[in-house]
Amino acid sequence: MSTGNIVSWSKKEGDQVKVGDIICEIQTDKATIGFESQEDGYLAKILVPMDAKNVEVGKLIGLLVEEKKDIATVDVTKYT
């Protein structure tokens, strides 16, 4: 598998995320799976929108920050 589709986002920008939370649903060539967070924090920015097709494996799809106050300071231009 080299690409997948973002079916839906389970979290919105600004939402708190805990380890194990499903952040989004990703459809592969064989199944639709929940993408789980490996860290606690806040979803600062969604970089790849819902319904995006053929997203390369390993591509950055969103930004997570440790503290809610850090959301306002994220410089998205570094990642797009």
Tens digit of each residue's pLDDT (9 = 90 or more) over 1-59? 789 999 999 999 999 999 999 999 999 989 999 999 999 999 999 999 999 999 999 99
Q: What is the pTM of this model?
A: 0.90
Q: How far are the Cα atoms of 6, 32, 44, 47, 60 from residue 78, in angstroms, in the given order?
A: 22, 30, 14, 11, 11
DSSP 3-state of 11: coil
Which domain covers residue 59, as residue numbers?
3-78
What would the mean pLDDT of 52-79 be, rounded to a whole number?
A: 93
CATH number for 64: 2.40.50.100
pLDDT of residue 79: 82
Which burial class, exposed, middle or buried, applies to 23 when counting CB atoms under 10 A from its CB (0-12, 13-18, 19+)?
buried
How many domains does one find in the chain?
1
